[in-house]
Structure 1
């Protein structure tokens, strides 16, 4: 327990910047848990429920949905972005994560609150104390294990170049934004070595997947 936030041993998150290869890592993590006979629920943030996915679409849309009736652009403020993320997260925790944990399943989430500290805190410059208060009041839950896929920003951007015809609002940010995000993730990992495992994501996807599976196996042994 930290400041009213409960850490759950069957809740695992994967974090990292753009192009870090979380999809491959999540598959390896799922397989490692299934091989041990566990039920595994895979989910993502923002999102994870129908309502939360609608909030995700609103937050990430880089095209027409944030324009007024007269066609004028209405930029989404950093504060509104943070609150949308936490609205989606509160719904996600209540509808998906807590019920799965209560029945004994492992929950593996592609991103969780650490992303808010990194993207909206370090990236956007919002007060981390505000994020911590929202985490305590609206979420109250933290992963027992967080795998940080660490990758050089330029390499990550090169991997994602051309991947999407319409990059979303976050993907459209400049390199200096992602440098701040990466630094934020690394600081959090250094501050919480008991929860974080940092994985070098510059390696081939298969090697990254293997490193993730090994890290999870060792963590499970530590919990036994």
Structure 2
């Protein structure tokens, strides 16, 4: 079937579910592909004008068990990604390859997080070893979580990437817990040399919208 394909749906019942508008079918609901109505011609013309001015990103939703292939699935440059509204690509894995040009030293590189989630905890200054998460209960301990910000470049443009959790562990080569509790880098505003050393590193990035 020639693109674009226009689908007209009749006799639906609108409903809001989890904050998003949905259409529920009824016994009278019918679907019409490319219906022979004036609105169809108008929609096709508008779509083609938008497509020619700003073509959509090529998307492949089929995952591969071969990681060599998976690394290049939905591979786009940063320049391409920043010029599109990624809200239109829900649950799509995008990949790119870039170089870390700089690690921001003017902001915290880790934070203390809840043991049950990744939210930042509040530390009770009057009661040592008491950390409170706004979602979960008070804990006697907390986790240390990466949150360092970087400037990356893939030769098309630069962008700010912030690395958390496993992504930070993989790039730095050490866990945040190790750096804070074993190596003694316990000041979030003082960037450890081992984190600074990732500048110039070529990285493979994968993000899900």
| Shorter-chain TM band | under 0.3
TM-score (norm 2): 0.24
Higher relative contact order (CA 8 A, sep 6+): 1
Normalization by structure 1: what TM-score?
Answer: 0.23
Could you say which structure has the higher helix fraction? 1
Give the structure with the higher percent strand: 2
